Structure formats: structure tokens, C-alpha cells
Structure 1
Amino acid sequence: MDREREREEQQRELRTLRTEIAALRRRLEHGHPAAALEPEPDRFCPEDPRAGAGGQEASRGLEARLGRVEAGISLLSGVTGVRIADFSMTRLELPGSGQSAHRGEHGLRILRKGYLAGECHTLPFQLEFQLLETQSEENSSVAITDLGIILEPMEYSELDRFVARTEEKRDLFLFFRSLHFFLEWCEYRQQTFQHFKEKHPAVVQLPGGPAADSMALQSPRVPGFELVVVWTVSIDEEGKVLPKLDLLTKIPEQALTLDEEVVARAPRCFRTLLPLLGIEAAIESLIQLLCTEE
């Protein structure tokens, strides 16, 4: 129990340091450097000379640890696109025990409730979960016993099914990994559609906007002839992100004299081009085909 109380005390000290650092940054950002540098009472640096050296040493140690944690979080945010804005962890009473910790035949059991909020690629999220920690002489383990996920309303209907599956599996790693790759693909799709719209404004149409899942390519030589690139992004049962591109054709009546077999083969040929040329080069080849004059 002494080790547990010591760990909780260190966590409280780290939270206090984070609050003070955040306040210092806000002062500097609002143009008050002098006020930010004014000395403030600090419980980690007591005025009592008998405790001053030890308090300052402990403070420096905590600041160094906090710096390493913040550097790790910054690196993680850059790699995953996940930014944490708020976090809290509190103890709950164990069912039937009336206590936040209970020692049974399997060791010490502690139930905690966590809250996590932030953004993943600008998409806000909130997580509420419960952790059951079991400690024994041989080993220790932590299991998520309950998980609730809230995502801001958005246009990605695929995420509704994904969130429901993740809450059922209670897998936080799966949630962050799959959400990161899903949003990364959606952002790449939007940037690609916007790129071609700016490069070929007479041919490329985005009826649903650049964030939609389809892009229309209209022939400048045959009015009404249109190729539609449909680019969907889904998440399977195992959390794997699956992008898929298909080609649809729209042929006006006056162009029905075209070789129907050629038109029928167009989607299959496009899927063949994708692994050979890549997404952007395959789409560019379609646009050049429409712009080529006989």
C-alpha cells in the first residue's frame, strides 16, 4: 500500500506540474513574459531551509520526468495524429466490497474510471472506460471492463459500425490504430480529389465536394459522357482499414454507337491500372484519355 500511495502522490505532483506549465505557456502566449517569470509559491520548493534541498531535488527530478513524458506524447501525436486534451482517472468502489481496493484470493483488485478527450486528425473524440487492475505476488494485469466512445457528428457513416464493434471488444489500441489509418486515407482522398479539380477544372466535377467519396470526369468532346471514380474507405471486423476504388460509366444516348465491350471493360481496366500505376497516376490516365482528341 505504501508503494501505491507513493505512486498516487507522484501522479498528483505531475498533474500539478502540468497545470503550472500550461499556465506559464498561456501567460507567454498572451504577451505577459514578465508576469510569467514572476516567482510563485511552489510546494515543491519550500522555504524551510531544512527541507529546501530535498524539495528542490525532488522538483527537478519530477520536472525531468515530466519533460520526458511530454516529449514522448509529442512524438506519439506526430506519428499517430492523436492529440490528448483532457485526461482523468479516479477510483471506484468494487461491486460488493464497498471499497475502492479489495484483496482476495487472486491478489489486490482495484477498479478505476478513466476519461480521455482529444482529437485524431482534427476529429474530436471522448472516451469513458473502467479499468480493473489485479496485483499479485506473481504478476499484475489490467483489463478494460467497460468502454464508451463519443465522436463528433461527421459525414463518415462507416465509423458508426466501427465504434459499436470497438465498444463491444473494449479494445482501445484497436480504436486508435484503425481510426488513425481511416482518417488518414480520407484526408488523402480529399487532397487527391481537390488536386485534380484544380488541375483539370473543365473535366473534374465534385458534386459532393472534395470530402465526398466520388469524383466525376466529364468528356469535353462528348457531352453527357462521364466516368465516375468511386473511392470508399471501410474498416473490417478485425479493424483493418480497406480503401477501394471503382469506376462507373455514364453514356448518353448519342454515344451508344461506341463499342459496348470497350465500355464494359473500362472498370476492369481501371482496377488493373491501380496496382501498376498507383491511384493518382491511374486517375490522371483517365483524364488524359477523355481529353485526347481524335
Structure 2
Amino acid sequence: MSEENSDEVKMLEAQIERLQAEVEVLKLQQQENHKDLTLHFPGHMRDALAHLCGQRAAGGQEEVLSKLREEIQELEADLELQTQMNGISLSRCLVKTLQSGRKLVQKLCLSGHCSELVFQVEFKLSEMKVGQSCERRLSELNVVLDSPDLRSFSSFLSRVEESGDLLLFFRTLRTFSDRCDDRARTFRHFQPSEAAGFSK
């Protein structure tokens, strides 16, 4: 083997070693991400995710699936109850993890409607473990509301986005939606009926 080929072989071997080291680092990151993923879910969901991520060998697949089904049914029942209580129906929820480790940062996008008002809310949720408790902080709130008459509501939306008060938005959305429905009913009541128009 010539000296030129020998140098090329050494270079390729060094590159293979670097790639193998990089693969090991990525495997460790994946394991950490799986740990982080399971830490942020309560009860059966956490146990099932831990099992699926290979962190726990106890319990069979049937038990894990059973626990997941039970957890999903509980969550669906809670969501249905919330929808009945507050009139706000969520149609889509997207969660994207931006950063994990000691500090979990997620970007959330919620879409739904309250009566005829269609909304979309985007925000970042930061969760940091402080001692035994978790501290959560909401930031970068952006609210999009699809309604023909938002002149009186736009200044309120701006204040909500500045303050990051998501709870205030949802409380007020229900009230605003009810007022829009009342207004529409009032306008319909005072509009001349089609039957009266035909009789003239």
C-alpha cells in the first residue's frame, strides 16, 4: 500500500471514530429526551411512557396499553366537562418542545371556538424545576380571533397579549361571545321578516 493510500485510510478511520463518537452523544441525548418526556406527565401516562421509552421493564405491553387507554378516557372526559362548563371547544393543540433538560420550554398553539368566535392562541410555556416544585411561566402570547366586529375587543386583546394573562382571555372570550350572540339575536328580532316582505 502506498503512502498516499495509507494517509487516506488513516483519515477515513479518524472520520469513522468521530462519527461513532457523535452517534454515542446523540444516543445519550435521546435517552435524556425520553427521561424529560416522561417527567412531565402524571400517573399512568408517565408510567406508560417510561415503559415505552425503555426506562422500566415492569409490566407487560397489555398493562401499558390498558393504562394509556384509561388515562386517555379520563382526559377526554375532563375535556368534555370543561367544554360544557365554559362553552369553549378546543379543536387543535400543537406542542413543540424547543428546549429540554433542567428547563423545559414548549411552544403551544391552541385552536378552537366559543360559539361563533373562532380563535387561535400561541404562547411559550417555560417550566423549571426549583427544589421539589415546578415553576411555570407563560410568555410570547399571541391571540388571533376571527370575528367581523373586533373594534371594541382589539384593545383588550392587545392588553392580554402584553400581560400574558391567558386565563383572563378565556374568561372574557366567553362573555364576549355571549354578547355577540345576544346582539345577533336582537338584530334578527328587529329585521323585517321575509314573509312580511312578500305580503306587500
2:82, 2:141 → 1: CA distance? 22
Which residue, out of 73, 77, 97, partners 2:79? 73
Q: TM-score, normalised to structure 2's length?
A: 0.65
What is the TM-score of this pair, normalised by structure 1?
Answer: 0.45
Provide the residue aligned with 1:151 in structure 2: 145
% identity of equivalent residues: 28
Aligned counterparts, 1:19-98, within 5 A: 54-92=60-98
Structure 1 residues 8, 137: CA separation in 2 closer, same or farther (over 3 Å shift)?
closer
Instruction: Report the Cα offset of residue 193 of structure 1.
Output: 4.4
- Cα offset for 1:113? 0.9
- In the TM superposition, residue 60 of structure 1 has moved relative to its aligned partner by 1.7
Offset from partner CA, 1:184-213 (integer Å, 9 cap, x none): 1221233244346579x99xxxxxxxxxxx
Structure with the larger RCO, 1 or 2 (CA within 8 Å, 6+ apart): 2
- What code does the residue aligned with 1:77 have? T
**Structure 1 CA distance, aligned partners of 2:140 and 2:191?**
45
Of structures 1 and 2, the larger Rg is shown by 1
- 1: distance between equivalents of 2:72 and 2:132? 30
| Aligned-partner Cα distance in 2 for 1:81–1:113 | 25
**Quick check: 2:103–2:128 contact (8 Å CA) kept in 1?**
yes
Give the one of 175, 178, 182 matched to 1:188: 182
**Are residues 1:179 and 2:173 paired?**
yes
Matched ranges for 1:275-294 at <5 A:
none
Is 1:121 matched up with 2:115? yes
Residue in structure 2 matched with residue 101 of structure 1 by the alignment: 100
Q: How far 1:148 sits from its partner (Å)?
A: 0.8
- Partners of 1:58 and 1:138 in 2: how far apart? 27
Distance 1:85 1:72 in 2: 15
Q: C-alpha distance in 1, partners of 2:121/2:158?
A: 13
Q: Does 1:131 align with 2:125?
A: yes
Question: Structure 2: any 5+ residue segments left out of the alignment?
Answer: 1-31
Structure 1 residues without counterparts, runs of 5 or longer: 15-43, 45-50, 93-99, 103-107, 203-294
1:7 Cα offset (Å): 4.5
Paired residues in the alignment total: 152
Is residue 6 of structure 1 aligned with residue 12 of structure 2?
A: no
The CA RMSD measured in Å over matched residues stands at 3.0
Bigger fraction of residues in helix: 2
In the TM superposition, what whole-angstrom CA distance separates every residue of 1:226-273 from its partner, at most 9, and x where no partner exists? xxxxxxxxxxxxxxxxxxxxxxxxxxxxxxxxxxxxxxxxxxxxxxxx
Cα deviations by residue, 1:118-147 (Å, 9 ceiling, x for unpaired) = 112121111111111110223211111211
